[in-house]
Amino acid sequence: MRANPVTAIIECIPNFSEGRRPEVIHAIVEAITAAAPVTLLDTSSDPDHNRTVVTFIGEPEAVAQAAFAGIAKAAELIDMDQHKGEHPRMGATDVVPFVPIRGATMAECALLAKQLGARVGSELNIPVYLYKEAATRPDRYELPDVRKGEYEGIRESIKTDPTRKPDYGPVALGKAGATAIGARPALVAYNVYLNTGEVRVAKTIAKALRFSSGGLRNIQASGFLVEGKAQVSMNLLDYEKTPLARVQELLKIEAARYGVTIQFSELIGLIPEAALVDAARWYLQLDRFEPEQILEHKLTGSTATDSTSDDPAGFIAAVAAGTPAPGGGAVAALAGALAAALPEMVAKLTIGKKKYADVETEMLALASRAESLRKQLTAQVAADSAAFAAVMAAGKLDKDDTNRAPNMQAALLHAAEVPLMVLELSAQALDLVLIAAQKGNVNTITDAGSAAHMALAAAESAALNVRVNLKSITDGGQVRQMRGKLEMALANVRTSHTQVLGIVASRGGL
């Protein structure tokens, strides 16, 4: 027997030049998740850097399609002439790296980068520079070299300097700027905050750390002033060759020269588990430690090399992790998706059975409608976490910032809209459950009953999340309108739930 081929999984981590407007961040993330069947892993926004990093995985074609949709939406909503932030940038979508995760090679990621670059250049009219393993020239291998001069500098130099001619797209910058697209190994992006406000110290330490100025190989580093503190912002381009602990220890030594210490550190986006395991080995002197000794590996049957597989245990572990997201809203969406999946199953187990030939056409339609709802509700799992991230981003804005209040209101409104959609979609799913219970294969009647309970749980849980966000929204008209939709949908769900249980009982399921 031949083994099934391993599905190629690629990670994409686009960086967008927006970290202050939650409605824009949400629109970009929604465009990504709606464009193709990809899994959103993380959204990280920083208002000081005015930048958002989105992380998602999927099969190659899906990842490329989702990335294109994100680039297109960013070009529509971000004007680089108005953009200001601490982080270097040259475009609305600044950089799009592809990373091979499972069943894919670096060469395949480089080819994907070139294909996406050609499409972005021709269809969106955005200059594209290929970098890292997709680079067509040695002087474009490193991202800082590609980005040199940033948006304002490239806008002028691209007109006259032949070395600035892009790999794809026009030889001119519009308001969406330029985009770097490439292929690279997984990197670790993290920031270290010092107990000083002197940005000069952070810049000096960064210079000592980064490889381009004589520091550690595989390290990019810069110094910024963020929230009143000096920050050393770093990318570890190869954490296996230049481990996290080594970087941290050198940073401590350099900081001590100026009489400062590390106050705290933060990750940007995601980190490979192997990088943390290596740091634990070093700091705790666990020389004989093996990843198989991690409790969660034993519980889930996973390994460090397969930690990105789409497994329910991964989502459950994320919910249990003690972080604010994913939380109740995402769980409600998942419950709704399961509620839609069950009538789809019932329909498919009814189709083709002679006993149910008279309802086959109806079951075919039911399966199609249920599949569509299942996919919509599944997308809301990630959308809920993204909406919460937008609220958090708005909350990080300075209290004196005039944009803080409107941004927070927009974020809260969207954070209520997502669970309201979950509630309304769950109500639609329950309508399908009613058909499945009435006309589906009687051997699946308890599955229809289970679907009814899941839909009710999804709706009631989603309603809680709508209400808690509406409490902080100041627009009374919007609050009344959404409350009206909530109560109507919830009443329909409760009525349909009771009807389904009655049918289940009458067909021998209780």
Tokens found for residue 119: 């499409």
pLDDT category at 311 given cuts 50, 70, 90 is: low
pLDDT category at 310 given cuts 50, 70, 90 is: low
In the set 87, 94, 167, 278, the catalytic residue is: 87
Bridge-based pairing state of the strands 9-12 and 93-102 = antiparallel
Helix (DSSP H) and strand (DSSP E) numbers for the chain: 15, 11
In the set 167, 384, 414, 497, the catalytic residue is: 384
Name the residue type at position 233.
S
Contacts of 29-33 with C-beta under 8 Å, sequence gap 24+, read 29/54, 29/70, 29/382, 29/383, 29/386, 30/383, 30/386, 31/69, 31/70, 31/72, 31/73, 32/56, 32/66, 32/67, 32/69, 32/70, 32/73, 33/66, 33/379, 33/382, 33/383, 33/386
pLDDT > 90? residue 215: yes
Number of alpha carbons in the 13 Å side-chain half-sphere of residue 261:
1
Name the residue type at position 178.
A
The DSSP output letter for 91 is: B
pLDDT at 314: 73
Task: Give 18-71 as a DSSP string.
Answer: -SS-HHHHHHHHHHHHHHSS-EEEEEEEETTTTEEEEEEEE-HHHHHHHHHHHH
Across residues 291-317, what is the average pLDDT?
Answer: 59
Q: What is the pLDDT of residues 324-383, one digit of tens each?
A: 888 899 999 999 999 999 999 999 999 988 899 999 999 999 999 999 899 889 888 888
Q: Is 384 annotated as catalytic?
A: yes
Residue tagged 């002028």 (tokens): 156
The rounded distance, in Å, linking the Cα atoms of 65 and 38 is: 9
pLDDT at 176: 97
The rounded distance, in Å, linking the Cα atoms of 234 and 190 is: 6
Q: What is the pLDDT of residues 142-181, one digit of tens each?
A: 999 999 999 999 999 999 999 999 999 999 999 999 999 9
Q: What is the pLDDT of residues 225-283, one digit of tens each?
A: 998 999 999 999 888 889 999 999 999 999 999 999 999 999 887 888 888 989 999 99
Percent pLDDT > 70 in the chain is 95
pLDDT at 260: 96
Average confidence score pLDDT of the chain: 90
The rounded distance, in Å, linking the Cα atoms of 507 and 446 is: 9
Beta bridge partners of residue 12, listed in sequence order: 56, 98
Tokens found for residue 353: 């059975």
Q: What is the pLDDT of residues 454-495, one digit of tens each?
A: 999 999 999 999 999 999 999 999 999 999 999 999 999 999
pLDDT > 50? residue 309: no
Q: What is the pLDDT of residues 418-458, one digit of tens each?
A: 999 999 999 999 999 999 999 999 999 999 999 999 999 99
pLDDT category at 297 given cuts 50, 70, 90 is: low
